[in-house]
Amino acid sequence: MKAFEVRMVFEPKTYDIDYAGIVSNQVYIRWLEDMRFEVIRQHFGWENFPPGVVPVLLRTEIDYVSALRLFDRVEGRMWISGLDNVRWIIEGEFVKIPGDNLVARARHEGIFYDTIRRRPVRVPGELKRAVFSEVGKEK
């Protein structure tokens, strides 16, 4: 499954670089957060979640494939790759521009949490329907 894809271009800033001249691992986490936010904003809308229900990140895995340096440009790509009754999986990648060479790939796993009742809840039905509707269009 590859639903709700977003693409964003990122350029490292001087404060993103570590002492070796390479983009710090923390920067990738920030960029992943930016894209995860956009996945929902662009394709579903935060206003469509039930009151108090928010996505919660449980796990992040990143494989760093090649170094990224100051003045390099990358395109970040992210999509929902899995969704069941209680868990969501989002995958992403960063590729250099130009050339499309893979820099890093990532995977997020999470749940939805009701901040009012303070407990995990099922994936909101409207979101689930929207994701599976988009996946159906790909076939």
CB of 73 closer than 8 Å to CB of 97: yes
Measuring CA to CA, how many Å separate 98 from each of 16, 25, 33, 133? Answer: 20, 22, 23, 33
**Which residue ranges form the domains of the chain, and what is each CATH number?**
3-138 (3.10.129.10)
Burial of 21 (0-12, 13-18, 19+ CB in 10 A): exposed
In total, the chain counts a number of residues equal to 139
pLDDT (0 to 100) of residue 137:
63
Of 48, 52, 57, 111, whose CA–CA distance to 83 is shortest?
111
Which amino acid is residue 55, in one-letter code? Answer: P
For range 104-129, the mean pLDDT:
94
Instruction: Give the phi and the psi of residue 102 in degrees, each rounded to 5.
Output: -65, 130
For range 101-124, the mean pLDDT:
96
- Cβ-Cβ contacts under 8 Å for 75 (sequence gap 6 or more): 7, 8, 9, 10, 94, 95, 97
Strand pairing class (119-121; 73-83): unpaired
For range 86-110, the mean pLDDT:
96
- For 27-71, the pLDDT digits (tens) are 999 999 999 999 999 988 888 888 999 999 999 999 999 999 999
Q: What is the pTM of this model?
A: 0.90
With 80 as the cut, is the pLDDT of residue 1 above it?
Answer: no
Q: Which two tokens stand for residue 135?
A: 């996946």
